[in-house]
């Protein structure tokens, strides 16, 4: 206890000495001398601190700007895609078509299983759509459910018509001859046996040849020569993500 009191007295005495010296004129020149060195250093360190703060804030603002620009670009891409899809959906299906609505209950590699079968009027070979995009056709049918062969399966094969993706070529009762670019055989994600002289190009649209007008298959994204160099081949992309399909309908004519 005595030792603690002694320490307190020493600290109090030191504080008193510092206080007295601070107000003693004799030490003012020394204080001014040290201040002449200390003050510029303090100013320098303050400026450096401000610069570092500005740099950090500038980096943060740049990151936020990049993030905003990225989001804006994605938004513009989505809006452009939506505009394109809306334009594609203006291609009307024939009014005399009847439909059976159904749901996908099982997803498989090459097939969907839907919850409609013979009992609801489903038939083998019927086309299965989402909006006016083809996603498959009924391959096997049971009383209350059906197996649908996916349009992207290598087992899927059908003749297709390739036509120009122009506003004047959409929304017609029948695709005009001037819009037709070529024909071929759809097998999965590729179109085979396109004649070499047919001027098929990226961006062209694909529809089934022997089906109601207005049913779209996809869009051409690549054209190349076949390995035997006798025909052309084209790769297509789908406008519908088949792995996420739930609500579908069967074409019933």
Give residue-wise pLDDT tens across range 78-113.
555 555 545 454 555 666 667 888 999 999 889 999
Last residue of one domain, picked from the residues 66, 88, 110:
88
Same domain, 176 and 222: yes
Residue finishing a domain among 88, 109, 142: 88
pTM for the complete prediction?
A: 0.61
The residue ranking higher by pLDDT, 95 or 68, is 68
Name the pLDDT band for 36 (thresholds 50, 70, 90).
low
Nearest residue to 245 via CA among 87, 62, 107, 61: 107
- What is the pLDDT at residue 110? 92
As a 3-state breakdown, the chain gives helix, strand, coil percent values, each rounded to 5, of 40, 30, 30
Same-domain pairing of 1 and 84: yes
Residues 203, 137 within the same domain: no
Mean pLDDT, residues 226-253: 87
- CATH number for 142: 2.40.10.340
What residues have CB less than 8 Å from 241, skipping those under 6 apart?
none
Pair 206, 221: CB distance under 8 Å = no
Answer yes or no: do 19 and 81 share one domain: yes
Model confidence over 132-183: pLDDT tens digits? 889 999 999 999 999 999 999 999 999 999 988 877 676 555 666 778 899 9
Task: Look at residue 195 and tell me if it is in a domain.
Answer: yes
* Residues 167, 149 share a domain: no
The predicted pLDDT at position 18 comes to 53
Domain boundary pick from 153, 184, 199: 153
Between 92-101, 174-183, 190-199, 201-210, the lowest mean confidence (pLDDT) is in 92-101
Beta-bridge partner residues of 46: none
* 90 DSSP assignment: T
Q: What single DSSP character describes residue 249?
A: E
Does one domain contain both 163 and 211?
yes
| Domain count for the chain | 3
**In the structure encoding, which two tokens stand for residue 69, read together?**
């620009």
Helices (H), the chain: 2-22, 28-88
Confidence (pLDDT) at 234: 95
Residue with tokens 């089934």: 208
Instruction: For the chain, give the percent of residues with pLDDT over 90.
Output: 34
* pLDDT band at residue 235 using 50, 70 and 90 as cut-offs: very high
Residues 6+ apart with CB under 8 A from 191: 160, 162, 184, 185, 206, 220, 233, 234, 235, 236
Q: Rounded mean pLDDT of 28-49?
A: 59
Instruction: Please provide the average confidence, as pLDDT, over all residues in the chain.
Output: 77
Q: CATH no. for residue 190?
A: 2.40.10.350
Question: 219, 236 in Cβ contact below 8 A?
Answer: yes
- One domain, residues 34 and 61: yes
Of the candidates 214, 211, 159, the residue with the CA atom closest to the CA atom of residue 183: 159
For residue 253, tell me if it sits in a domain.
Answer: no
pLDDT at 94: 63
Taking the C-alpha atoms of residue 173 and residue 160, their distance in angstroms, rounded to an integer, is 17
Whether residues 222 and 164 fall in one domain = yes
Indicate whether 138 and 203 sit together in one domain: no
pLDDT at 44: 64
- For β-strands 205-208 and 190-195, DSSP reports them as unpaired
Structural domain includes residue 43? yes
Q: Which among 191, 166, 167, 163 is positioned nearest to 177, based on CA atoms?
A: 163
Query: 134 lies in which domain range?
Result: 98-153
Q: Is residue 251 part of a domain?
A: no
pLDDT at 103: 92
pLDDT category at 67 given cuts 50, 70, 90 is: confident
β-partners of residue 180 are 163
Distance CA 143, CA 252 (A): 17
Domain membership flag for residue 250: no
pLDDT at residue 32 is higher than 90: no
Domain identity same for 1 and 78 = yes
Q: CA torsion, points 137, 142, 147, 148, in degrees to nearest 10? A: 10
Does 235 lie in the same domain as 203? yes
* Rounded-to-integer distance, Cα 206 and Cα 132, Å: 12
190 and 168, same structural domain?
A: yes
Q: Is 199 among the domain residues?
A: yes
């Amino acid at each position: 206890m005595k030792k603690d009191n002694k320490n307190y007295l020493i600290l109090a005495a030191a504080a008193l000495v510092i206080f007295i010296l601070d107000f003693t004129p004799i030490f003012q020149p020394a204080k001014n001398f040290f201040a002449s060195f200390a003050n510029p250093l303090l100013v320098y360190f303050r400026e450096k601190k401000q610069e570092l703060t500005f740099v950090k804030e500038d980096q943060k603002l740049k990151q936020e700007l990049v993030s905003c620009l990225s989001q804006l670009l994605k938004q513009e891409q989505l809006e452009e895609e939506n505009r394109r899809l809306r334009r594609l959906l203006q291609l009307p299906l024939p009014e005399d078509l009847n439909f059976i609505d159904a749901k996908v209950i099982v997803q498989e590699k090459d097939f969907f299983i839907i919850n409609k079968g013979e009992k609801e009027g489903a038939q083998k070979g019927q086309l299965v759509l989402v909006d006016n995009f083809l996603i498959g056709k009924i391959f096997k049918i049971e009383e209350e459910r059906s197996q649908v062969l996916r349009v992207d399966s290598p087992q899927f094969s059908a003749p297709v018509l390739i036509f120009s993706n122009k506003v004047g070529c959409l929304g017609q009762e029948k695709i005009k001859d001037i819009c037709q670019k070529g024909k071929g055989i759809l097998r999965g994600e590729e179109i085979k046996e396109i004649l070499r002289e047919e001027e098929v190009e990226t961006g062209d649209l694909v529809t089934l040849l022997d089906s109601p007008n207005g049913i779209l298959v996809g869009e051409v994204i690549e054209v190349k020569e076949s390995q035997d160099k006798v025909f052309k081949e084209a790769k297509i992309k789908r406008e519908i993500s088949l792995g996420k399909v739930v609500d579908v309908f069967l074409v019933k004519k």
